[in-house]
Amino acid sequence: IENSGNINIGTFTSNGVAQIGHNNIMNIENMLLNLIEQIEKSDATEEQKKEAKSKLKAFIEHPLVNTLLGATVGAILSKVGL
């Protein structure tokens, strides 16, 4: 089977967030932003929240992860003030 790179969509209906693309990382950005939001909303102490976000920041800033996420890294960090 030869992959021509073409994707055909006859009918598309969405009642919420939808993503159509090829090799994009929008879902990863949304997942990380949602994770940060859930950390903020949690019943954890402020110290625990700060520690969790700090560890997440270290993960996002790791050279390998940073390379894979590309420009998304800056957008995520700036949106959450990390």
Mean pLDDT lowest among 1-10, 37-46, 51-60: 1-10
pLDDT band at 73 (very low <50, low <70, confident <90, very high): confident
- In whole angstroms, what is the distance from residue 32 CA to residue 66 CA? 13
pTM for this predicted structure: 0.62
| Of residues 64 and 25, more confidently modeled | 64
Rounded Cα–Cα distance for residues 49 and 19 (Å):
30
The region of weakest confidence among 13-17, 29-33, 76-80 is 13-17
Cα distance between residue 74 and residue 64, in whole Å:
15
